[in-house]
C-alpha cells in the first residue's frame, strides 16, 4: 500500500470516529489565506486531513480537526501544524493519528492539547464505540475520490472555480454571515452558467452548498440564542450581517451613496437581503427543535455521499433511513429555502427524490 493510500485509509477510519461523536465531516480540506501583494489573492497555506463540526443544544459550535499520517511523517512537526491550523479555523478539538507515535511526541501533544492515537488505538476506540473498525469500503473511497475529482474539474472552468474554492476551503475560515451571503450568491451564479445535462457535479454542488449553508444558519441561531429569544425576526435582521454594528455600517454606506449621487434620490438601495423573510422562517423552525436542528448538516452529508457514489444523481434507494423525521423535515425546509433564494424554479429529479423521502 502506498503512503497516499495508507493516509487515506487512516483518514477514513478517523472520519468514522468523528462521525460517531456527532460531527459533520469533510476530508482533505485545503487551507487558503488572503494576501495582498501586487493584487489580492488567496494563497494555499496547508491542509487538514479531517475537519468536523457539531453543535450543542444551545447551538454553540465545536470544531474538530485531525491529521492521519503514515510512519515516515514526523509527529512533532504534525502536532505543531495541527495546533497552528486549529487557531486559524477556531478548532477546540485536535487529533493526530499515525501508524506509530513515540512517547516524546505524545507528551508534546498532551501539553498542546492534541490527542495522539496510533492506528491500533484508533481501531480499539472504534470497537469500544461499537463503530465499524474494518478496512475502508470501496464506497467510502469512491465518494472521497469522486468529490475531489469534481472539485478539480470545477477549477478548470472559470465560471465554477470560485464556488469550488469556497465550498472546499473558505467555508472553514470565513465568518458564518459571510458564508451565508457568499454561498447563495455563488450558487445562483453557478446555476445560471451550468446546465444539468453537461455537468455531472451539479447535484453534488447544490447539496454540498446546502450542507454548508445549514451550518451557517445554525451559527446564526447561536447568535440569536446569545442575544435573546424574545424576537427571533429582529434577531435575524441584526445578525444576518454579523450584528448591530455591521447593520449600522450598511445603513451608513447606503446613505453615503445616496448623498454622493443625488440622481439616485428615491432609488431603492436595500440594506437587507431579498431572502430575509424566508430565512426568518427557517430559523424559527430550527430554534423550535434544537435537538433535531443540529442534525441537519449530517442529513445533507449522507445525501452528498450518495450522490458521490451514484454518478452525480441522488438515489433514494440507498438512503439509510437512520435520521430523525423532524431533522429530515428541517433539512427539506433548508433545501427549499436554498432553491428559492437561488431562483431554482425547475427542481430536477434528484431534488424531487430527496424532498419526497
pLDDT digits (tens, 9 = 90+) for 200-236: 889 999 999 999 999 999 999 999 999 988 889 999 9
Average pLDDT over all residues of the chain: 89
According to the model, what pLDDT value does residue 198 have?
57
Kindly report, as residue ranges, where domains of CATH 3.40.1350.10 are found in the chain. Answer: 3-136
Q: Does residue 312 contact residue 203 with C-beta atoms inside 8 Å?
A: yes
In this prediction the pTM is: 0.92
128 burial level (CB within 10 Å; 0-12, 13-18, 19+): exposed
Give yes or no for residue 31 having a pLDDT over 70: yes
Which neighbouring-strand residues pair with 34?
42
Which residue is it, cell 499520517?
69
Percent of the chain as helix, strand, coil, to the nearest 5: 60, 15, 25
pLDDT-wise least confident of 84-98, 210-224, 252-266: 252-266
pLDDT for the residue 167: 95
Lowest-confidence pick of 78-82, 217-221, 269-273: 269-273
Which range is least confidently modeled, 32-41, 137-146, 343-352?
Answer: 32-41
**pLDDT confidence tier of residue 268, bands split at 50, 70 and 90:** low
Under the phi-then-psi rule, with left for phi > 0, alpha for psi from -120 to 50, and beta for the rest, what region is 25? beta
The matching CATH number, chosen from 3.40.1350.10, 1.10.10.200, 3.40.50.970, 3.40.50.620, for 3-136 is 3.40.1350.10
Q: How many helices (H) and strands (E) does the chain have?
A: 15, 5
Amino acid at each position: 500500500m502506498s503512503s497516499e493510500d495508507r493516509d487515506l485509509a487512516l483518514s477514513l477510519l478517523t472520519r468514522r470516529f468523528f462521525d460517531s461523536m456527532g460531527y459533520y465531516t469533510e476530508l482533505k480540506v485545503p487551507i487558503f489565506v488572503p494576501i495582498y501583494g501586487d493584487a489580492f489573492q488567496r494563497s494555499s497555506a496547508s491542509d487538514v486531513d479531517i475537519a468536523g463540526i457539531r453543535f450543542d443544544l444551545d447551538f454553540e459550535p465545536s470544531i474538530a480537526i485531525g491529521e492521519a499520517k503514515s510512519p515516515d511523517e514526523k509527529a512533532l512537526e504534525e502536532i505543531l501544524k495541527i495546533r497552528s491550523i486549529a487557531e486559524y479555523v477556531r478548532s477546540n478539538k485536535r487529533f493526530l493519528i499515525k501508524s506509530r507515535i513515540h512517547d516524546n511526541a505524545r507528551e508534546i501533544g498532551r501539553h498542546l492539547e492534541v490527542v495522539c492515537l496510533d492506528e491500533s488505538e484508533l481501531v480499539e476506540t472504534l470497537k469500544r464505540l461499537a463503530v465499524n473498525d474494518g478496512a475502508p469500503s470501496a464506497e467510502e473511497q469512491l465518494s472521497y475520490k469522486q468529490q475531489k475529482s469534481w472539485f478539480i474539474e470545477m477549477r478548470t472552468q472559470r465560471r465554477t472555480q470560485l464556488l469550488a474554492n469556497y465550498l472546499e476551503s473558505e467555508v472553514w475560515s470565513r465568518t458564518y454571515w459571510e458564508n451565508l451571503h457568499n454561498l447563495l450568491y455563488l450558487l445562483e451564479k453557478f446555476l445560471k452558467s451550468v446546465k444539468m445535462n453537461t455537468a455531472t457535479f451539479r447535484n453534488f454542488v447544490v447539496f454540498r452548498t446546502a450542507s454548508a449553508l445549514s451550518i451557517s444558519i445554525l451559527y446564526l441561531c447561536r447568535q440569536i440564542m446569545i442575544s435573546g429569544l424574545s424576537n427571533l425576526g429582529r434577531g435575524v435582521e441584526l445578525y444576518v450581517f454579523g450584528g448591530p454594528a455591521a447593520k449600522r455600517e450598511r445603513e451608513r454606506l447606503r446613505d453615503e451613496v445616496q448623498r454622493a449621487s443625488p440622481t439616485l434620490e428615491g432609488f431603492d438601495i436595500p440594506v437587507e437581503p431579498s431572502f430575509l423573510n424566508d430565512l426568518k422562517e427557517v430559523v424559527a423552525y430550527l430554534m423550535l427543535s434544537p435537538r433535531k436542528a443540529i442534525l441537519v448538516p449530517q442529513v445533507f452529508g449522507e445525501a452528498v455521499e450518495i450522490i458521490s457514489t451514484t454518478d452525480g444523481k441522488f438515489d433514494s434507494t440507498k438512503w439509510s433511513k437512520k435520521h430523525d423525521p423532524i431533522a429530515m423535515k428541517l433539512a427539506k425546509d433548508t433545501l427549499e429555502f436554498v432553491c428559492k433564494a437561488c431562483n431554482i424554479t425547475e427542481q430536477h429529479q434528484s431534488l424531487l427524490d430527496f424532498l419526497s423521502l
